[in-house]
Amino acid sequence: MPLVTPEIYVKMLEAAQKGNYAYPAINVTSTETANAALKGFADAGSDGIIQLSTGAGEFASGLHVKDMVQGSVTVAEHVHRMADNYNVYIALHTDHCQPKKVDTFLKPLIDETARRRSEGLPNLFHSHMYDGSELPLNENMAIAKELMQLCKDNEIILEVETGVVGGEEDGMDHSDQPREKLYTTPQDMVGVYEALSPIGGKFMLAATFGNVHGIYKPGNVVLKPKILKEGQEAVVKKFGKEAYFYLVFHGGSGSELADIHETLEYGVIKMNIDTDTQYHFTEAIVKHVDENRKELTHSGTDVANKKKFDPRSYLKKAEENMAKRVTQGCRDLKSAGKSIYKG
131 part of the active site: no
Reply yes or no on whether the pLDDT at 2 is more than 50.
Answer: yes
Residue 229 lies in a domain: yes
pLDDT at 81: 97
Residue 251, pLDDT score: 77
CA distance 60 to 22: 27
Mean pLDDT, rounded, for 281-296 = 97
Q: What is the pTM of this model?
A: 0.93
Give the domain CATH number at 50.
3.20.20.70
Residue ranges of alpha helices (H) inside 202-268 are 226-239, 257-264
Asked if 141 and 189 count as a contact pair (C-beta separation under 8 A), the reply is: no
Residue 224 maps to a domain = yes
- 289 part of a folded domain: yes
* Residue numbers of the domain that contains 248: 6-332
- Residue 175: its pLDDT value, please? 46
Residue 219 resides in a domain: yes
Q: Is residue 319 domain-resident?
A: yes
Residue 60: Cβ within 10 Å count: 25
Cβ–Cβ under 8 Å, residues 338 and 45: yes
According to DSSP, residue 123 is labeled P
Average pLDDT across the chain, whole number = 92
Using one digit for the tens of pLDDT, what is the confidence trace for 226-240?
999 999 999 999 999
Q: Is the pLDDT of residue 17 over 50?
A: yes
Q: Model confidence at 168, in pLDDT bands (50, 70, 90)?
A: very low
The values of phi and psi at residue 149, to 5°, are -65, -45
| Number of domains comprising the chain | 1
Element of type H or E holding 144:
helix 137-153
DSSP β-ladder status, 203-207 and 157-162: parallel
Buried b (16+ CB within 10 A) or exposed e, 76-91: bebbbebbeebebbbb
Q: What is the pLDDT of residues 98-157, one digit of tens each?
A: 999 999 999 999 999 999 999 999 999 999 999 998 899 999 999 999 999 999 999 999
Residue 59 in any domain: the answer is: yes
Residue 342 lies in a domain: no
Distance CA 209, CA 224 (A): 5
Q: Check 43, 47, 67, 95 and give the catalytic one.
A: 95
203 forms bridges with which residues in the sheet? Answer: 158
Whether 176 has a pLDDT exceeding 70, the answer reads no
Beta bridge partners of 247: 205, 268
250 or 26: which carries more pLDDT confidence? 26
The residues pairing with 271 across neighbouring beta strands, listed in sequence order, are: 24, 249
Percentage of residues in the chain with pLDDT exceeding 70? Answer: 90
217 torsion bin: left (phi>0), alpha (psi -120 to 50), beta (else) = beta
Average pLDDT over residues 192-199: 98
Q: Tens digit of pLDDT for each residue in 33-60?
A: 999 999 999 999 999 999 999 999 999 9
What confidence category does residue 294 fall into, taking pLDDT thresholds of 50, 70 and 90? very high
* The predicted structure's pLDDT at residue 215: 53
341 within a domain of the structure (yes/no) = no
Strand partners, 160: 130, 205
